[in-house]
Each structure stands twice: as C-alpha cells, then as structure tokens.
Amino acid sequence: MMNRKTSVRKLALLCVIVLVLPLVLTGCHGSGGLKEFQVPARFDEDRQYEITFWAKNDTNNNQVQVYREAISAFEEMYPNITVNMRLYTDYGRIYNDVITNIATNTTPNVCITYPDHIATYMTGNNVMAPLDELFADEKYGLSGSELKFDGPAMDEIVPEFLAECAIDGVYYALPYMRSTEACYVNVDLVEKLGYQIPDTLTWDFVWEVSEAAMKKDQDGNFLVNGQKTMIPFIYKSTDNMMISMLKQLKAPYSTDAGEILIFNDTTREILKTVAVHGKSQAFSTFKISSYPSNFMNAGQCIFAIDSTAGASWVGTHAPLLDIAEDKLVEFETAVMTIPQFDPENPRMISQGPSVCVFNKQDPQEVLASWLFTQFLLTNDVQIGYAQTEGYVPVTLKAQQSAEYVDYISRMGEDNDLYYDVKIKAAKLLMENTENTFVTPVFNGSASLRNAAGQMIEEVVKGVRRKKAVDDAFVDKLYDDMASLYRLNHGDEQTTVGEKKAELGPLPGMAKGLLIGLGIVWLGIITYAAADMLKKKRIRE
C-alpha cells in the first residue's frame, strides 16, 4: 500500500504534470515553439537559402510567367537564395494548406494571401513574421541601403492598400496587387429593353432591368436575346455582394474586435430582396450557374459582377475566352462600378492578393524571405503583373511610372495587352480608390465572410426549391450559419437566431417509425394493465 509520503510526492508530481503539460502542448502546437522574430543586424550572404513561395494566379499563364521572371531576376541578384514556387489558382486551397502545414511546422516562407487568412494563421505562436521592424530597417527595410534592387519606400505604397495589411496595428503583409469589383454591362441589351444606362448603376435599376429581361415568346425564347437561356444578373462573389450592400446601407457587419453583427434586420431585408429575384430567375450566382462572363459573352447575361481582375475574360473581343467561338455574340461592354444604394457616395470593396512572410527558426531565412517579398513590389513585377489583368499596382512608384502611364493611355490599341475592358477595369479602381473599403480582420473574419455569401446562395437555392423565404427561413438560416461557421452568439445583435426556428416537418419515415413505436408501447402498457387486472381478479 502506498504510504502517505509517497502519495504526497505522486500528487505533487501529478500537479506539476497537469500544470506544465498544457504549456508544453500549446508551445508545441502550431509553431513548434518558434521564437519571436528578430531582425538580424546583417544578411549573411555566405550562406545558401532555399525559400518556398506559394503563389496564386487567376488561371492565367501570363501571371505565372511574371512570377517566374521575378524569381529569375531576384535569384540573379541574390545567387545565394533559391525560390521554389508552388502555384495555386484558389485562395481557399492556399488557406487550407497553410493551416495544415502550421500543425507540422512546414509553412511556406512567403505566401500570397488575404489579411483575413493571416488573422487565422496568427493563432499559432509566432507563426507569422511581423513586418514593422523589417519595414523600418535601415539596411534591408523598404528602400533600405543594402537592397540590390530599387524597391518602393513606405510612402510610395498606396496608403489605403498598405493599411489593409495591418492587424491590430501591426503589419503582417505587404499588398501585392489590388482590384475591386466591376459591373460589366451588355449595353446593347439594356438599350434593347428601352433603358438608358445611368452614370452610376443603382440596385433598383439593375433589378428592374433584370426583371424586364425575363419576358419570353410563345416558344419559350427570351425576347431580349432570342435564346432559351438568359440570366440577366449574375454575381460572382456573393460574399462581396452581401458585404458591399451592408456597407452601402451603413448596416452592421462586425466590429473591429470581432463581434459578429451581420445577423440583423438589414441583412434580412437584403435576403428577402434577393429571394424575389432569385425566384424569378432574374438573378443567379457563380456557384449556382457558372462564370458570369461566360453567360455574358454568349449574350445570356446583362449585368455580370466580377473582379476587375477578371476583365480579360469579359467581352466579345476578350483575349481569354472559355466558350466556343460559335456561341460568342457581338456586344458593347460597359465597365461600371457595382450597383449603389447611394450613388453620391459609392462604396466598393478593395480586394486582391497580399503577400506575407512566415516566421522560421532561422532569422536569416526569414530575412531572405523578406527580401524576396519586397522584390515583388519593384516596378517591373508590379507593372508586369498588373498588365495581365485589370489589376492596379500597389505602389505609387509603379502607378506613376512612365511605363505604366503609357500603358493606360494606349487603352484599346489591341485586344491583348491594351484590351479596353481590362484597362477600363484598372482605371475604375484608380479613380475610386478612396471609395473602397475592407472589412475588419480578426480570427474568424474569413468564416464570417463565407457566411455572408452563403446566406445569399442558400436563399437563391431555397426559393428555387420551392421554399418560402420568410422570417422563419431567415431565422433558421442565421442559426445555421452561426453554427456552421462557429460565429459567436454572445451579444444582443447575434441573438436573432436564438428564437429557435422550426426544424420543418418530420420526414415520412420518421413519422411512421414514431407512430409504430407509439403503438407498440401502447400495446405493452395495455397488456401489462390487463395482466395486472387479471391477477387482481384472481386474488379477489
């Protein structure tokens, strides 16, 4: 039997284990116990570094080529640094792969990303390299004295774009490219319906024209295009759709601290409006139907909202096409700001890739990664990449360069490098930079964004599946989204979903089984009661 002294020792040991284990485990989790990054005094060029760069392109091999040329030029300047690139065409895949690799301490060194995603990466200990000190470093910082390339100074980065890369007041990324959303309009079809396009599109106008386009002839062909298919209004990113509508209406979405405010009455009204036009089939989404530009190029869509970074795919003479030549129709494309509730104060989202640096055991490796990251902001890379799509360079240095100014001025000279729709899309953002906005970034903001879009998707699918999109539907949707995306329900705004929605009628099979069970229990009880009565009578 254990004596008291041994018992006390064992208890003490147990207490120590219980107290220390969580620290050990949490220290190991994610970061593998990485130390906070400190900028080295000098970059050791006598050593060899191999860094990995996870890059994203828009299924556009010209962008891949710009990345390759950038890597090649950088490796020429820094022969001791090898950059291995892994290509993605989907931000979601990058995000998932990074999350997986945080657990095994195998994150890339440099990664194209969104600040929303960085906020989640940061939940691991020192996973990310904070960039403030690197920005300011005299030798290796922005326009530092020891750089082997002509990078931008901090004040040469567009302030709005740089600000998007700060999380809780600390920079964790550099902007790489910026875009916004544009509403690409088939002018011919709008006019055929008897409308004139206003200077600024409004939601009312877009809904009205879209409904007007739904009229069919006796054979089931749409009058406006003479085809069996017509989806007048298609939105590519429903996340952005909900977010932009809420912003334009000055309605709550979230606080900077991460309080979830989206489940409100304005959202409810937006969803009900979407339901009306989803039901009439005047409105659809990329997830439900396909790329807006494909429908538009086939004359089957009037208003296609997509990124300005997708402009090379829009229009009769688009350099990138995904539909057969015989389906392509001739039409005039207008590139406009997305529809507004208040045309005097237009608001549109700022989006586009940023680039972040992951922390590593070796600060020299991080410094090498930072040098490459900065190199992506040099003029050749910025202008080269921006020209592949309707992107805008993130540095004023590139935007104001003679090369870029010349590029913009030659809009429409050809249907390739100077493709007019693409350059109009880039100009749209440059002319509206002060009207752009981003949503607050916090751990969970990526999920909130997903929920914002999914609500629209669910409503459109819901009405087409003959469901009534009423308050009960929206209540349940709020609950489902909060649960699926683990959005907290802590405050009053988010308790809308606490009114537990009806779960709907039971399926027939379940009903039958329950009835059956009820009958069996009734039988058992009846039998038992009868048996008791019988015994009682016998005793009497």
Residues that bind other proteins (CB under 8 A): 57, 59, 61, 64-65, 87, 89, 96, 288-291, 294, 322-324, 327, 461, 464-465, 508-513, 515-517, 519-520, 522-523, 526-527, 530
The pair phi, psi for residue 76, each rounded to 5°, is -70, -40
CB of 275 to other proteins, least distance (A): 14
Q: Using CA atoms, how far apart are residues 295 and 301, in angstroms rounded to an integer? A: 5
CB of 312 to other proteins, least distance (A): 16
65 or 273: whose CB is closer to other proteins? Answer: 65
In angstroms, how far is CA 540 from the centroid of its own chain? 81
CB of 450 to other proteins, least distance (A): 11
Burial of 468 (0-12, 13-18, 19+ CB in 10 A): exposed
8 or 510: whose CB is closer to other proteins? Answer: 510
CB of 523 to other proteins, least distance (A): 4
Q: Using CA atoms, how far apart are residues 504 and 478, in angstroms rounded to an integer? A: 15
CB of 289 to other proteins, least distance (A): 7
212 or 323: whose CB is closer to other proteins? Answer: 323
The answer to whether the beta carbons of residues 296 and 327 sit under 8 Å apart is no
In angstroms, how far is CA 280 from the centroid of its own chain? 28
The pair phi, psi for residue 347, each rounded to 5°, is -130, 135
293 or 373: whose CB is closer to other proteins? Answer: 293
Specify the DSSP element, H or E, that contains 269.
Answer: helix 265-279
148 or 511: whose CB is closer to other proteins? Answer: 511
11 or 520: whose CB is closer to other proteins? Answer: 520
Tokens found for residue 190? 């709008």
CB of 265 to other proteins, least distance (A): 27
The residue to which tokens 């657990």 are assigned: 103
The answer to whether the beta carbons of residues 284 and 231 sit under 8 Å apart is yes
SS3 for 281? coil
In angstroms, how far is CA 397 from the centroid of its own chain? 28
18 or 324: whose CB is closer to other proteins? Answer: 324
SS3 for 285? strand
Alpha helix stretches (DSSP H) within 29-149: 61-77, 91-103, 115-121, 132-136
CB of 519 to other proteins, least distance (A): 4
CB of 324 to other proteins, least distance (A): 6
322 or 416: whose CB is closer to other proteins? Answer: 322
Q: Are strands 283-285 and 170-171 parallel, antiparallel or unpaired?
A: unpaired
